[in-house]
Amino acid sequence: MTSISEKAAILHRSARTQQPIAQFSTTEEYDLESAYQVQHELIKQRVDEGHEVVGVKMGFTSHAKMEQMGVSDMIIGQLTADMQLDANTPLNKSECCHPRAEPEIAFRLSKDIEGVLDAQEVLDYVDGVASAIEVIDSRYENFKFSLEDVVADNCSSCAFVVGPWCEVPLGLNGLDMIMSFDGAVEAEGSSDAILDNPFEALAAATRLAHQYGIDLKKGMIVLAGASTAASFIKQTTDVSLKVDGLGTAAFKAL
């Protein structure tokens, strides 16, 4: 049985050396509570290295993602400043194991959130919505894991990019989301795939953050989770996502 801090150290090393590891859950049993403790340890190491927490990400908020990965519950992970890509900051693929891109929607928090909110109440706590792409890169061999394993691995978080911030509309339903690789359509989905309403993903984030002791602070970014299955980007350079009415998010993978 490996301890919480041993698991965190093994995962941290794997991320730094791009050496995928065996799943913990094949040789030992541990629960979600301790998996989130591993995640907190991992994030503490990143913060100690000088990278602040800038947001959170929801995982498995669409059927497409749950089916692709064979899991059946939502999860929450944490985003640090060094994960954020922009026009001048490409993804360095040589620092990844087997990166995949996902079409997402991002929220920006206008106030700290202490408690648990519903999909209507969250509207008062958001001052921006944007198209976003998440890059996930599981530290486990063959991108295979249990729910506890993926939570411990900070929900496969690797990198993300956020498009231009837009005013918050009253609804986010029925928005087409088209992700392109090197100019060709790679995945097409709808914002409806995210819990039937992306604001539900934000509400779920308040519930999981509260449950597992994760801070939601003013200015933080919340990724709502992918609307389609994720696609490998090892052979891809230009990744972009256009969301109806929310503009385009894009990054280069070099």
Residues in contact with ligand OOG by CB under 6 A are 57, 59-60, 65, 69, 102, 134, 136, 138, 150, 155-156, 225-226
The residue number whose beta carbon is nearest to Mg ion equals: 134
Q: Is the Cβ of residue 177 or residue 226 nearer to ligand OOG in the bound state? A: 226
Q: Is the Cβ of residue 59 or residue 198 nearer to ligand OOG in the bound state? A: 59
Q: Is the Cβ of residue 113 or residue 201 nearer to ligand OOG in the bound state? A: 201
Return residues touching Mg ion (CB under 5 A): 102, 134, 226
- Shortest separation between residue 102's beta carbon and Mg ion, angstroms: 5
- Shortest separation between residue 134's beta carbon and ligand OOG, angstroms: 6
Q: Is the Cβ of residue 84 or residue 110 nearer to ligand OOG in the bound state? A: 84
- Shortest separation between residue 46's beta carbon and ligand OOG, angstroms: 17
Query: Which listed option, ligand OOG, Mg ion, none, makes contact with residue 156 (CB within 5 to 8 Å by class)?
Result: ligand OOG
- Shortest separation between residue 64's beta carbon and ligand OOG, angstroms: 9
- Shortest separation between residue 164's beta carbon and Mg ion, angstroms: 20
**Cβ atoms within 10 Å of 154's Cβ, excluding its own:** 28
Q: Is the Cβ of residue 69 or residue 203 nearer to ligand OOG in the bound state? A: 69
Q: Answer for the pair 154, 12: CB distance below 8 angstroms, yes or no.
A: no
Query: Which listed option, Mg ion, ligand OOG, none, makes contact with residue 60 (CB within 5 to 8 Å by class)?
Result: ligand OOG
